[in-house]
Structure 1
Amino acid sequence: MNLERITEKLNILADAAKYDVSCASSGSKRKNENKGLGNASNGICHSYTEDGRCVSLLKILLTNHCIFDCAYCVSRKSNDIKRAAFTVQEVVDLTINFYRRNYIEGLFLSSGIFKDADTTMERLVQVAKKLRTEHKFNGYIHLKSIPGASDELMREAGLYADRLSVNLEMPTEEGLKLLAPDKDRKDMIQPMGFLRNEIIHRAEEKKLFKKAPMFAPAGQSTQVIVGATAIEDDRAILYSANHFYKTFKLKRVYYSGYVPVLADNRLPALNTAVPMVRENRLYQADWLMRFYGFKVNEIVNNDQRHLDLDIDPKLSWALRNMHVFPVDINKADLQMILRVPGIGMLSAQKIVSTRKFNKLNWEHIKKLGVAVNRAQYFITCNSNSFERRDLTGTRIKQFILAESQSKYLKNKPDQLSLF
């Protein structure tokens, strides 16, 4: 192995892979048997960069050569950049060497398109197959499925990878046609449907036969680019995500703010960037849909097509629906308690469980982990120490933002000189 050449490839292809954020590795349990190498389990270790992106996996492209010319992609064929490609064996060797040094917990492998979908997908599968069969590697493997690849290759990929994902890239078909006219949305949908059916079938098979092989045990996910076009507001993005959750049983939809790297009249100006807080708000809204029982039209609608960047989506919903508050924390059902700002899933469950034995007051609620500074405006309890004032949603928002700013300045005394 030419170390200098491999290092050069690694620098190029790791940098090109940083724009893909869908690399979380939880959800798989692959036991180490027969004295193999590594062990993937629920709660696998993660490390995050300061902007919140996961770096726990060896995250690289097989190649940044590509036959497509997508406006938003740094690897598009018309972009004048340095190109490189790993061989299958080079990726295998890198993964094993990094794993032995305890740098990584697994591999996240994506790729540009060499000459067609099947050729590229076949090489990705070969990497996973070699790691599993020749090196008995039991660490986490996430493969990017190539849109348009055959069912046979997708089936084989599922036997060796923990998670598979097909990037939708643009949230809507209109956005894809505008920025990637060479691509067909159907090529992305078809493998997602195949994987959904195969995962369901293999899960049923596993119930009947304990030794049946695992198939993509961490499921499938996708990624959408946020802010590359003006036609895709948060409402369109969340409706699209909700559709794919329900139709294809996805584990996660990842939201990646568009990073201006190329000049193109179809794209935002190079001196503009999607604020990181917009990504954060989309993830919070996504969490509300998946775990808190919120519907998309409760979070965003025709009158409010973008999420409020100042406050989280749950608080935003509460302020628009003050007529349902306050709720009695000692009587309300779990679903209503989950809608109170400042109360998370675990705290809500503790409240419902604890109030069976004692009526809860503010001290009890604090001890159960509730963010009382927010919740106090929306609940009543067995106490008069705080009497809810007759405040409008606008005033409550002002109070909460002011308190957040005060806490920030208290924790950052060096910032006081700026005011």
Structure 2
Amino acid sequence: MRRTGLITTATALVAALALAACSGDGGSGGGGGDDGSADGPVTLEYWAWGTTQKPLVDAWNAANPDIRVRHTDVGGGSDTAARLVTSTRAGNAPDVAQVEYQTLPAMIVAGVASDITDATSDIADEFAEGIWNQATFDGVTYGVPQDAGPQTLNYNAARFAELGIEVPTTWEEFAEAAEAVKAADPNAYITTFAPGEFGGFAGFAQQAGAEWWSVDGDTWTVEIDGEESRAVAEYWQDLIDRDLVLAEPLLTPEWNAALNDGRILSWPAGLWAAGVLYGVAEGMTGDWAMAPLPQWTAGESAVGFQGGSAVIVTTSSDNADAAAKFAAWIGASEEGAAIQIEQGQYPASLPGQQLTLESDPPLLMPQQEDYWEVAAAIAADTIPQISWGPNVNVASSAFQDAMSAAVTEGRP
């Protein structure tokens, strides 16, 4: 593979996106103010995916007879986003919807998400700045954060100890650890560079200071091939060239087998990763642990996002006030947070994160008693200003195609 593969890919992505500016109607507040208290009960339609949503809706309905919520799962994040745009154009979108942070800008530009700044101003302090800003653009709030996925380093502590590897705190130390792993066990890799992991690479670049999208008024600009992104690409290119990381997709049968055999020793990923790892490597319970993500500069603590979602009120809703109350309850109430924790989500709110401190560690890591304390510290260090553009789906597709070609075929 050529040394310029990942670097050239970053430049090619900008051309593939062909985005200089993009603007649109951000929505201005939904269709009405009926909260169910004056004219009888109202029913809200709520689109959301995942096992957490039904228990949330059931708990809300049990406590709020005047505002009933009807939940529908129309598919994961990308499926929901696509259907929200279509249904909004047809005038029959739900009142409330769960959207991923990276797709929220597209919902704003498409006129799907309402401005709920006034309705949520009293809960803004319940969230760390970096997380609240995932749903706020140019001073306007379009959603209430529900869960968060700051990046962490999940590592096979048993294998690290066996090979004499210290947990790296910087990416320079991570590269040195990768060398030490390969020297101690030529069949092992410290981690995987997966060409399809758009969110993972974006988080690394954000941590290095990259700002892939920025907004000024109604105009969005993109700089995926900036200096910081190129430096990140160069870093991983070097490790790939020296066969110190495994360059292949994640969670395939082959990858799962290598993980279970102790040949893949870590996974830098969102805070949700422990649950995913447990699902494919339950037999390694007690072997793995979680630590803060290595830093590009020693002594810093910046953390990028890799996952998470917010709850929006749509511009189609005729019950915007009631919808905003429901969205705020999901993201900021203790009851909502307790349900999220029980279902394996990491709450976005500070009170919710505080509740995790009373919870047991994830099933994969029962021995790590400080797991949730470490998680809370990591979440508090999320970068305050991270913007996603209105065409993340295009960027993600272009990224996956270009990175796969660079890694597997040695061309940009």
TM-score by length of 1: 0.26
TM-score by length of 2: 0.26
